[in-house]
Amino acid sequence: VEEPLLPLARRIVNALDGEMVLIKDGDRSIYHAGACVACNYLVSLIHFGQRFYQALGISDDLALKAFWPLIMGTLANIERKSTAAALTGPIARGDLGTLKKHLSALDARLPELAHLYRELAKYTVKVAREKGTINLKQEELLNELLSEQQKIV
């Protein structure tokens, strides 16, 4: 927004009960990339989850129906708490046993999906540390398990 238009922009944002954020010209690509990750990649992530169910012979529609309460509950938790505080699951618990089972099954049945699963899991380990539900030793053990060289078959 050009400087002379800022007061008008503020009035419009306030009228809509929004929050105004000013982004520098040089930062617009990072801002847009963040929005793409939060929105477009969420679609890709749900599609990724459907691929697991496809391997079991479950249709995309039925998979989405099965995921939907989990997705909506997660979004509600994120809105109420924060992203890190909303994290649940085996990584948030430091549950190596469950993660080993996931990796073994993926390496054996869906090897083409295993790399992306591992990469997302590594990022999730960082979120779990931020949440404070795993300690440094658990973080190291999880990352070691998730390394590509540690294929479990």
pLDDT in tens, 97-142: 999 999 999 999 999 999 999 999 999 999 999 999 999 999 999 9
Q: Which residue has the tokens 């994290």?
A: 87
Q: Residue 141 carries which DSSP code? A: H
Calpha distance 18→121 (Å, rounded): 34
Calpha distance 100→80 (Å, rounded): 31
User: Is 104 buried (19+), middle (13-18) or exposed (0-12) by CB count in 10 A?
Assistant: middle
> Where does 6-152 have alpha helices with state H?
6-15, 28-54, 60-80, 83-86, 90-93, 96-109, 111-131, 136-146
pLDDT in tens, 23-57: 998 999 999 999 999 999 999 999 999 999 999 99
pLDDT in tens, 57-89: 999 999 999 999 999 999 999 999 999 999 999
